[in-house]
A and B are shown apart, each in its own frame.
Chain A
């Protein structure tokens, strides 16, 4: 871990301990009616069977994860939640890190026929309906170094007001202290041939990471149809990564001011879930900063479940989604024209055993990625997760993925939940 990264982690950890202490103190003074400590301790390992493409990259890594959560609630239901996250990784110093996933105060109440809720602090927010990709979801930064699947997020400082009634749910967000995306370091796998600088991050806004980003979201259910409309104006979560201007120069992360409008919808009928997410984003440069290019993108698809298959208690769900990005080969992500096919087989036994298989097929580049996942509870506290990703085929012209061709991996993770 570099000095600056370490400092950053230390500051986060200190801030978090500070919030925890304050909360404890507040509790001593105003005696919270309810206090709870829960969390997870995990032991993880990842093995990369194929030899690394770049010198210094490890063939396996192991690590320990701590994710405790403190929850305090007073008699009126007002609450404080604090959830720091720590990871130690044996091979990539950048993956050894601390973060505050959550540290917020929650207030809520009623006003006439409406309900309001206010969350202030570091929190995580999820928008959307799709499975292969979370397209409209933009509030939090992705913790990419945790998992390339983009499911894991960094905590984001915010004020989040929700106002709801028979007419729907309206949410307003004020966001600041932008978090740069995490990328693997030289020793890590699942990275490009070049290293992305995680220290010299630059911003389009003169306020740098302190720019006040604004977002608004409206959601409502019309019978079987759920609809969400969203708008975001502020610092992009996806970095602009430009080619270095000098030979051997660093690839740096630059965060532009963008505007994004989003639509997400799900129709739930019988065992069908039909899903759509679409965005229009302006102000963002395309691949390797060739030019600023406004674009639209969508993911459309669905999920169908077969219950009690083969005379057993098990369920089988089949998923299919099409991801499309108008920029085509100039897109900054891998979902420019990709079909996702998935199957989830849940045994519905006491251990909640399930298997998931996903295949992502890139129509333009011919890249094919297979992912497998297995989950099983071992006891009431211990649970096992195994996941594997295989880069079966990588298209020659697929710049974003061709450096991953030897990075297929199997990971196992044993967790103690308390």
Chain B
């Protein structure tokens, strides 16, 4: 009987990425202003944000998660990840766990597909077993954190419907506030409200509403840095669960871009080499 603390509980941290991505080419306001209905305007913002995030090629990074419960007790998760953009398909992502130590060397591979369910494999180092797992679990918690699978998976534009709500100040910036509702089954949310800044289309805040429309969680993104003179990547993400009082801080570090990764670094054979 297979047994592993991580087994039933994986998602892809890509989302975190998708959230983090925002490129900075031209000012977006013109196209957005040309759209008429709130739905069109919301979609335009999402499309532009996605377009600006593309083209980085590949990158590697480290993630450190600090999980905090209501009493303030902390637990840490360390993950190394690598990501490859794929022409005409979703990204390929590999995660390798360093902490907690009982799951050290466990690795997780995702081939994302924008119009189809993702392909996911898990490598269990104690058994040296590669197991293909179901990708249909979207609403569950990722490694006991306040991030859910669906917060972590590739948030392609096609996976939501949109509605522009308003513009408002967010810190020193002006943000466009849009609402998006998940398409397809399995989501734990009825809707999300997203704050994009108008200059660079970076996401600064997301509010998550559960199926009963209660305000479940709030994500705050900060410490953006510019890479390759074009891509804004976040350094820190704070997810707070308003119903349980628990929170998770996700810190990103050691970003390296265009490291020469290719398809052969994202196969089941390479998954077995993870350590």
Residues of A within 8 A of B (CB): 36, 38, 40, 71, 79, 81, 106, 108, 110, 115, 117, 124-126, 129, 131-132, 149, 151, 162, 164, 169, 219, 221, 226, 266, 268, 270-273, 305, 307-308, 313, 315, 317, 342, 344, 346, 348-352, 354, 356, 358, 371, 373, 375, 377, 380-381, 383, 415, 417-418
11 residue pairs A–B, Cβ–Cβ below 8 Å = A36-B275, A129-B131, A268-B133, A271-B137, A307-B186, A346-B7, A346-B8, A350-B144, A352-B9, A356-B1, A380-B99
Do B8 and A354 touch (CB < 8 A)? yes
Question: Which 3 A-B pairs give the minimum distances between C-beta atoms?
Answer: A352-B5, A417-B101, A350-B144
Closest to B268 in A: A169
How does the 8 Å CB contact mask read for B1-12 relative to A, with 1 for contact and 0 for none?
111011111000
Closest to B185 in A: A270
Q: Interface SS of chain B: helix, strand, loop or mixed?
A: loop
Chain B residues with Cβ under 8 A from A317's Cβ? 8
Contacts A117-B269, A268-B134, A350-B69 given; does A125 touch B128 at CB 8 Å: yes
Assembled-state Cα–Cα distance A125/B99 (Å): 25
Q: Are B269 and A375 within 8 A (Cβ)? A: no
Q: Within the complex, what minimum Cβ distance (angstroms) separates B275 from chain A?
A: 6
Q: B136 to A380, Cβ gap below 8 A?
A: no
CB–CB B134/A273 < 8 A: yes
CA distance A219 to B132 in the complex (A): 13
B139 within 8 A of A: yes
B188 in contact with A308 (CB, 8 Å): yes
B37 cross-chain contacts in A, Cβ below 8 A: none
Interface centre among B6, B7, B129 (most CB of A within 10 A): B129
| Inter-subunit contact B128/A381 (CB<8 Å) | no
B86 to chain A, nearest CB (A): 14
Complex Cα distance, B101 from A36, in Å, reads 13
Question: How many angstroms between the C-alpha atoms of A84 and B2 in the bound complex?
Answer: 23
Known: A124-B128, A268-B134, A417-B101. A377 touches B264 (CB 8 A): no
Distance in angstroms between the alpha carbons of A221 and B111 in the assembled complex:
13
Give residues of chain B (110-150) contacting chain A, Cβ–Cβ below 8 Å: 117, 119, 127-134, 136-141, 143-144
Q: Chain B 203-239, CB within 8 Å of chain A: the 1/0 string? A: 0000000000000000000000000000000000000
**B134 and A270: CB pair below 8 A?**
yes
Closest to A353 in B: B5
Looking at the assembled complex, report how far the CB atom of B170 sits from the nearest CB atom of chain A, in whole angstroms: 31
Could you tell me the distance between the alpha carbons of A317 and B4 in the complex, rounded to whole angstroms? Answer: 13
Q: Is the CB of A350 within 8 A of B75?
A: yes
Taken together as a complex, chains A and B put the C-alpha atoms of A108 and B268 apart, in Å, by: 14
Looking at the assembled complex, report how far the CB atom of B112 sits from the nearest CB atom of chain A, in whole angstroms: 15
Q: Is A377 a contact partner of B2 (Cβ separation < 8 A)?
A: no
B3 in contact with A348 (CB, 8 Å)? no
Give the total number of A-B pairs whose CB atoms are below 8 A apart. Answer: 127
Contact B134 A272 (CB under 8 A): yes
A376 to chain B minimum Cβ distance, whole angstroms, is: 9
Closest to A149 in B: B1
A383 lies within 8 A of B102 (CB): yes
Partner of A342, one of B1, B76, B270: B1
Bound-state CA distance A307–B264 (Å) is 32
With a cutoff of 8 Å between Cβ atoms, the chain B residues found around residue A162 in the complex are 269
CB pair B104–A417 under 8 Å, yes or no, is yes
B101: which of A81, A305, A381 is its contact (CB, 8 Å)?
A: A381
Residues of A within 8 A of B188 (CB): 308
- What residues of A have a CB within 8 angstroms of the CB of B136 in the complex? 270-271, 305, 307
Q: How far is the CA of A164 from the CA of B127 in the complex (A)?
A: 22
Query: Closest Cβ of chain A: how far from B5's Cβ, in Å?
Result: 4
Known contacts A169-B268, A350-B67; decide if A415 and B102 are in contact (CB<8 Å): yes
Given the known A-B contacts A131-B1, A354-B8, are A348 and B134 also in contact in the complex, defined by CB atoms under 8 Å?
A: no
Q: How far is the CA of A79 from the CA of B272 in the complex (A)?
A: 13
Is the Cβ of A373 less than 8 Å from the Cβ of B267?
Answer: no
Complex CA–CA separation, A273 to B135 (angstroms): 11
Tell me the chain B residues, 51-95 only, with Cβ under 8 Å from chain A: 67, 69, 75-76
Having A271-B137, A348-B141, one finds 7 other A-B pairs with CB under 8 Å, namely A270-B134, A273-B133, A346-B9, A352-B103, A354-B8, A375-B5, A417-B102
Q: How far is the CB of A109 from chain B (nearest CB, A)?
A: 9
B140 touches A313 (CB 8 A): yes
A140 CB to closest chain B CB, in angstroms? 9
Please, which residues of chain A bring their CB within 8 A of the CB of B130? 126
Q: Does B273 contact A (CB under 8 A)?
A: yes
**Which listed residue (B1, B101, B117, B132) contacts A38, Cβ 8 A?**
B101
A315 touching B1, Cβ below 8 Å: no
In the complex, the answer to whether B127 meets A151 with C-beta atoms within 8 Å is: yes
- Can you name the residue of chain A whose Cβ is closest to the Cβ of B125? A69
Chain A nearest Cβ from B99, distance in angstroms: 6
Q: Give the docked Cα–Cα distance between A126 and B137 (Å).
A: 26
Interface pair A117/B273, CB less than 8 Å apart: yes
Taking a contact as CB atoms under 8 Å apart, the answer to whether B1 and A358 are in contact is yes
Contact of A126 among B127, B262, B275 (CB under 8 A): B127
In angstroms, Cα B2 to Cα A149, docked, is 11
Closest Cβ of chain A: how far from B70's Cβ, in Å? 12
Quick check: is B245 within 8 A (CB to CB) of the other chain?
Answer: no
Provide the bound-state CA to CA distance between A377 and B103, in Å. 10
Task: Give the distance to chain B from A69, nearest Cβ to Cβ, in Å.
Answer: 9
In the assembled complex, the CB of B264 is this many whole angstroms from the nearest CB of chain A, namely 4
Which chain B residues lie closer than 8 Å to A38 at the CB level? Answer: 101, 104-105
Q: How far is the CB of A210 from chain B (nearest CB, A)?
A: 25
A315/B137 in contact, CB under 8 A: yes
Q: Check A373/B1 contact, CB under 8 A, given A268-B134, A415-B102.
A: yes
Report the separation of the CA atoms of residues A38 and B6 in the bound assembly, to the nearest whole angstrom: 19
Q: Contacts A126-B128, A169-B269, A350-B69 given: A380-B100 contact, CB under 8 Å?
A: yes
Closest Cβ of chain B to A195, distance in Å, is 28
Are A106 and B8 closer than 8 Å at their CB atoms?
A: no
Say yes or no: B8 contacts A348, CB within 8 Å.
yes
Q: Are A307 and B137 in contact (CB under 8 A)?
A: yes
